[in-house]
C-alpha cells in the first residue's frame, strides 16, 4: 500500500498499514510509514521539511495556521497522548521520546483542536 501521509491520516486506524508493534531499536510502529521511518535527527529534518512543503502545496491542511495555535496544539496533544497510544497504537507511551515521536507531535499539531 503506497499512500501519502495525508491519505493515511484519513484512513480509520484499523485500515492503516501494519500493526507490527515496537520494532527495531525501540522505535514505534506509528501505523504511518512516514512517521515509522523517522529514526535519526536527519530523518526528522527531512520529514519536517516535507511536512512544510505539503502544507505550502496544500496537499495537507491544518486546523492551526498560526504559530501560537500550532505550538499550543502540540503541547495539548503531547499532554493527552496517553489516549492515542492506548486506543490507536495499543501500547503505553514510552518513557523517553524518540525521533519518530517528535515527528508525530508535529504531525498531530496540524489537526489537534
Contact 59, 4 (CB under 8 A): yes
- Please tell me the distance from the alpha carbon of residue 107 to that of residue 103, in angstroms, as a whole number: 6
What's residue 22's pLDDT? 40
What's residue 82's pLDDT? 93
What's residue 31's pLDDT? 82
Q: Is the pLDDT confidence value at 113 over 90?
A: no
**Cell numbers for 72:** 499550543
Question: Per-domain residue ranges for the chain?
Answer: 5-111
Beta bridge partners, 27, equal 23
Global pTM?
Answer: 0.72
Q: Is the pLDDT confidence value at 91 over 50?
A: yes
Q: What is the pLDDT of residues 12-57, one digit of tens each?
A: 444 445 434 443 344 567 888 888 889 999 999 999 999 999 999 9
Give residue 77's pLDDT band: very low, low, confident or very high (50, 70, 90).
Answer: very high
User: What value, to the nearest 5°, has the Cα angle with vertex 54 and ends 99 and 100?
Assistant: 10
Q: C-alpha dihedral over 102, 107, 110, 111, to 10 degrees? A: -120
Amino acid at each position: 500500500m503506497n499512500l501519502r501521509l495525508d491519505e493515511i491520516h484519513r484512513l480509520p486506524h484499523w485500515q492503516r498499514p501494519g500493526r507490527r508493534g515496537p520494532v527495531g531499536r525501540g522505535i514505534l510502529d506509528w501505523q504511518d510509514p512516514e512517521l515509522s521511518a523517522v529514526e535519526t535527527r536527519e530523518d526528522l529534518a527531512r520529514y519536517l521539511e516535507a511536512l512544510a512543503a505539503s502544507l505550502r502545496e496544500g496537499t495537507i491542511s491544518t486546523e492551526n495556521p498560526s504559530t501560537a495555535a500550532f505550538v499550543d496544539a502540540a503541547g495539548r496533544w503531547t499532554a493527552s497522548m496517553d489516549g492515542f497510544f492506548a486506543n490507536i497504537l495499543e501500547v503505553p507511551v514510552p518513557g523517553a521520546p524518540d525521533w519518530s515521536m517528535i515527528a508525530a507531535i508535529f504531525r498531530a499539531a496540524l489537526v489537534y483542536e
